[in-house]
Amino acid sequence: MIKLAIYGKGGIGKSTSSSNLSAAFAKKGLKVMQIGCDPKADSTALLHGGDRIPTVLELIRERGDAISLSDMVTESRSGVCCVEAGGPVPGLGCAGRGIIAALETLEKKGAYEVYKPDIVIYDVLGDVVCGGFSMPMRKGFADKVFVVTSGEKMSRYAAANICMAVESFKGRGYASLGGIILNRRNVRDEEQSVKELAEDFKTDIIGVIDRSEDISLADEKGVTVVEAFPGSASAKQFEELADTVLRICGGGDKNA
């Protein structure tokens, strides 16, 4: 089982990237589980026609320990097993602790043993890399961390903080850095600035996603570009990124 975490600043496109990667992996015949670890709980919306699914924390508040795996896991039309950790009631509780509770509940209920995914993707908000937001990096969860960034200053700043957190946790047997995904915003010297960021952390830009009307149209339809426009250049970029991630993580294509 390949386990990876995708981090990035809020609004940088990590959920779009995660969902399109999930769709690309599923297209290859792999069983995928995507777990949204962002309090906004919209990680998997593109896999469900734009609709949000019930979150683990909502279900825990409603039903306590009586919740079942089938309550927490919703299968998309492409066969991706989708989970949203969710967040606390606004103004009450800690979002990081909510992620911990959600992931521990999934583990306790045997989600990985029951669904037997080939790939697990944790989609994690990366503006703050502490407490529960670092949980997917911890031993037993993700093995590799991939960071989504553009060339914009604040996006690179958040990406650097994520990379530093991965470096700090390395000695504890946590996940290692798999590489950086450049989600273009077409700012000045974008590729060079992100290349320098990668070099600072002795890693590589493993994929580039261009700004595209196809991605915007797919988002408006509430679907991934891989599913909405399978022959497009954008879909091809995500499929190539999926191949690269598999090589880095030591996985393979069931249809190969």
List the structure tokens of 242.
């999926």
Say which of 14, 27, 28, 144 is annotated catalytic. Answer: 14
C-alpha closest to that of 255 among 3, 24, 20, 30: 30
Say which of 3, 9, 109, 144 is annotated catalytic. Answer: 9
42 is catalytic: no
Distance CA 28, CA 89 (A): 38
9 is catalytic: yes
Strands of 61-175 (E only): list them: 74-75, 81-84, 119-125, 144-149
Say which of 31, 40, 195, 236 is annotated catalytic. Answer: 40
Say which of 31, 42, 71, 127 is annotated catalytic. Answer: 127
Secondary structure of residue 227 in the 3-state scheme: helix
Secondary structure of residue 207 in the 3-state scheme: strand
Backbone angles phi, psi at 30, to 5 degrees: -95, 145
List the structure tokens of 155.
């996006």
Q: Own/partner pairs for 114-117, CB < 8 Å, 24+ apart?
A: 114/69, 115/31, 115/33, 115/69, 115/73, 115/81, 116/1, 116/31, 117/1, 117/31, 117/32, 117/33, 117/81
Q: Apex CA 145: angle with CA 186 and CA 250, to 5°? A: 110
Secondary structure of residue 121 in the 3-state scheme: strand
Give the residue numbers marked as catalytic: 9, 14, 40, 127
